[in-house]
Amino acid sequence: MLVGEASVDDVYSIMQKAQENDKIKYVVVEINSYGGSPVAGMEMMTAFKNFKKPVVVFARNGIASAAYLAATGAQTIFASVATDVGSIGVTASYLENVEKNRKEGLEYIDLSVGKYKDTGDPNRPISNEEKQLIMRDCEILHEQFISAVATNRNLDIDKVRELADGSTMLGEAALKNGLIDRIGDAYDVVTFLTEKMGEEVKICWQN
């Protein structure tokens, strides 16, 4: 079982060791995250999908946004009734400092080359054109997210699009909507694997 904070490289390394160990039959990944980089989410999702041994994910408090995207690469997803699941959406929002800087007597000096080079700098107002550029990319990423969930979870893409408003849902609703496979915790994962393998299961924790 993978546990603790981990980068994509950490996950790759541990899964490679698991792949080479004939005694390991499944990889169980604990996820407790409300998201992060879409690139990291896609990379982990792909790693789980391409792994030659079955991957089981179980979620703690939250499995949302990029963390949920990553989890969809697993064969089986567990979550508790109280776990926040989903948040199929994309954000590039930020806090603008223009008024704060003005009150503090600070002046923004633009020394960039390229019309859009400093797009998103919080120390100057954003233009409508820049907003459109950012939203264009957010919408592209959103469609990629929706498509990945629909494919990995074997769901109708229009159904996923209806769910993809950026909100999370609790475990029972996530199960009903096909975003997870089972309600349960680490103990239920052990029971599930014992039934699958027909023998006693021992989980080896990896940090």
- Over residues 54-101, the pLDDT tens digits come to 999 999 999 999 999 999 999 999 999 999 999 999 999 999 999 999
CA distance 75 to 166: 23
- Both structure tokens of 133: 């550029």
Model pLDDT, residue 130:
96
CA distance 178 to 165: 16
Helix (H) / strand (E) element for 63: namely strand 55-64
pLDDT (tens digit per residue) in 10-52: 788 888 888 888 888 888 999 999 999 999 999 999 999 998 8
- Both structure tokens of 102: 């003005």
Domains of the chain: 1-87+167-207 (3.90.226.10), 90-152 (no CATH)
